[in-house]
Amino acid sequence: MRLFDTYSRGLVELPPLPGPIRMYFCGPTVYQRIHIGNARPFVLSMWMKRWLEQSGYDVRLAENITDINDKIYRAAPGASAELAAAASRWYVEDTDLLGLGRPDHEPKATETIPEIVELIGKLVDGGLAYPAGGDVYFRVAAFPEYGRLSGREGDHKALHNPSEEAEREELKQDPRDFALWKAHKEGEDTVWESPWGPGRPGWHIECSAMAEKFLGPVFEIHGGGNDLVFPHHENELAQSRGAGSEFARIWMHNGMLELTGEKMSKSLGNIVPLRDAVEEWGRETILLFFLTAHWRKPIHLSDAVLAQARAQAETFRNYFVGLEHEPEEPERDELARVLDDDFNTPDALALFHDWRTRGRTASLLWGLALFGLGSLAEAASAPADLVALAEKRSKARASRDFDEADRLRGAIEEQGWEVRDVADGFELVPK
RNA sequence: GGCGCCGUGGCCGAGAGGUUAGGCAGAGGCCUGCAAAGCCUCGUACACCAGUUCGAAUCUGGUCGGCGCCUCCA
């Protein structure tokens, strides 16, 4: 399998079976319910995990939850820990709605403080970081590779990491330097001890620490939204390599989900909560919506596009209505051909339709289930009173009383079900 | 302004130097008591302008347009 890697800007081959494939994906900062755009890397990572495992790889996926952040302090003054804990639960709840399973590890920053402090200490000892005014900063000048990942190597202006406050900026030796540890400030209601004084970790260092803690000093894939390339991932890479770890070998950055021509983001306020979208459209529609676009491209959210995804869900669902099939081997190679080529899910979807029209039930069932869409094959059973109505309608039809038959069909439809006449009787399907 | 991604038929969206992608919507037909579902048929698209080539939507240059990052952000 090969994947497009941001660092080398080309396709990179995965190691041979059985791996291991160790993956780290950046999860959300938790201070409110996640939106559907936040779900994209989650969905991508779980699909990748499922496909790689299906392919025979030994996979380990870690996906962090950032529960220390300015946004959290600001959103819940005096109760940031409570908000972060609640929002972490919401995140798990909401992503569980997708039915894709969980990553192997979902570490939180607050549970990784000793490792973070240790990593910062290592960087300070190695001359790659320096304490200043209770903060600790990464010394970018000591890491020549800085800017390589984001393609802005040498451009000092583009590599500037501004401090939150002007007076903090003066503590830095170089505008590019960024905080690894931030001294405790008035109004922040969580604080941890460190050799440099009380405070809390910077954003980037937590990922470096968590990745190493759960995956080791080198791992195969690092993923996240492409809005994280700079500064977040650039800084992670600098910290971890600066501390002597090889770190990630392939960088997978997914495209943004856009609403009305703009990236959906919590700070812009143009958000559709994942939970609401799943409730309104159903989980299969949301998954199919993600499946229609290649992971690297931007994807536009609109009712029209969701309606198309829902129509596809119906098409698959209809295929399975009343279907019996012989167990047979899925045509794995056909799916591998498209997924092993940069995980081309739109091509996979085309293949599923091909399998559908050619009646390859076993393959279709297997392929859909891989992406969490196996439920499309599950027939809902109608309540007994509706079955009785449908039977009554069959009798009416048999005696050619079509007015009565149509009346009964209307009654069934009023209850949200549709009756279809088939060769040996009828089928009841939800509308 | 700098760095990067992208512009495909009504809509979504792969692909890729010469051969039907696929889906959704739409039209006609078959089937049906009528429907639904299903099946068959129908679209000759690749932003624009130059260039390379026997041949480009696919390569090169430019133009226009969209998006992301450069501030927290999946």
Query: Using one digit for the tens of pLDDT, what is the confidence trace for A57-89?
Result: 999 999 999 999 888 998 898 899 999 999 999
* pLDDT at position A294: 92
Rounded alpha-carbon distances, angstroms, from residue A29 to A69, A83, A87, A88, A262: 7, 11, 9, 9, 20
Q: A203 and A311: one domain?
A: no
Q: A194 and A108: one domain?
A: yes
A61: helix, strand or coil = strand
Q: A321 and A236: one domain?
A: no
Report yes or no on A271 lying in a domain. Answer: no
Q: A253 and A372: one domain?
A: no
CB A352 within 8 A of CB A316: yes
Report yes or no on A265 lying in a domain. Answer: no
Q: A371 and A396: one domain?
A: no
Last residue of a domain, one of A224, A258, A292: A258
- pLDDT band per the 50, 70, 90 thresholds, residue A326: confident
- Report the distance from CA of residue A426 to the C1' of nucleotide B35 in Å, as an integer: 13
> To 10 degrees, the CA torsion angle through A232, A236, A242, A243?
150
Residue A410 class from Cβ within 10 Å (0-12 exposed, 13-18 middle, 19+ buried)? exposed
Long-range contacts for A404-411 (Cβ within 8 Å, ≥24 apart)?
none
- Report the distance from CA of residue A365 to the C1' of nucleotide B54 in Å, as an integer: 48
Q: A229 and A140: one domain?
A: yes
Report yes or no on A274 lying in a domain. Answer: no
Give the Cα-Cα-Cα angle A79, A104, A205 (nearest 5 degrees). Answer: 55
- Report the distance from CA of residue A299 to the C1' of nucleotide B73 in Å, as an integer: 17
The percentage of chain A sitting over the pLDDT mark of 70, rounded to a whole number, equals: 100
Last residue of a domain, one of A360, A377, A394: A377
Q: A30 and A167: one domain?
A: yes
Q: Which nucleotide is nearest to A293 (CA to C1')?
A: B13
* pLDDT at position A325: 74
Q: Which nucleotides of chain B are near protein (any atom < 7 Å from a CB)? A: 1-6, 11-15, 21-25, 32-40, 66-74
What is the C-alpha end-to-end distance of chain A, expressed in Å? 40
The percentage of chain A sitting over the pLDDT mark of 90, rounded to a whole number, equals: 77
Per-residue pLDDT, averaged over A286-290, amounts to 96
Closest Cα to residue A73, out of A190, A201, A192?
A190
> To 10 degrees, the CA torsion angle through A172, A173, A176, A179?
-40
Report yes or no on A276 lying in a domain. Answer: no
- Report the distance from CA of residue A290 to the C1' of nucleotide B58 in Å, as an integer: 26
A25 pLDDT more than 80: yes
Tokens of A292: 């229609």
Does residue A147 come out as left (phi exceeding 0), alpha (psi in the -120 to 50 range) or beta?
left
Q: Which nucleotide is nearest to A311 (CA to C1')?
A: B24
Report yes or no on A264 lying in a domain. Answer: no
| CATH of residue A231 | 3.40.50.620
- pLDDT band per the 50, 70, 90 thresholds, residue A19: confident
A125 pLDDT more than 90: yes
CB A223 within 8 A of CB A42: no
* pLDDT at position A85: 95
- pLDDT band per the 50, 70, 90 thresholds, residue A423: confident
* pLDDT at position A178: 94
Q: A181 and A305: one domain?
A: no
Q: A219 and A335: one domain?
A: no
- Report the distance from CA of residue A420 to the C1' of nucleotide B29 in Å, as an integer: 21
CB A134 within 8 A of CB A196: yes
- pLDDT band per the 50, 70, 90 thresholds, residue A157: confident
Last residue of a domain, one of A243, A258, A273: A258
Report yes or no on A193 lying in a domain. Answer: yes
Domain that holds residue A250: 2-258
* pLDDT at position A327: 76
Report yes or no on A240 lying in a domain. Answer: yes
Q: A238 and A289: one domain?
A: no
CA distance A257 to A173: 37
Q: In what order do the strands lie in the sheet with A135-138?
A: A129-132, A135-138, A178-183, A199-201
Q: A104 and A47: one domain?
A: yes
Q: A367 and A402: one domain?
A: no
Whether the ipTM is more than 0.95: the answer is no
Report yes or no on A412 lying in a domain. Answer: yes
Residue A187 class from Cβ within 10 Å (0-12 exposed, 13-18 middle, 19+ buried)? exposed
Per-residue pLDDT, averaged over A139-145, amounts to 92
A155 pLDDT more than 90: no
A22 pLDDT more than 80: yes
Per-residue pLDDT, averaged over A344-367, amounts to 94
Number of structural domains in chain A? 3
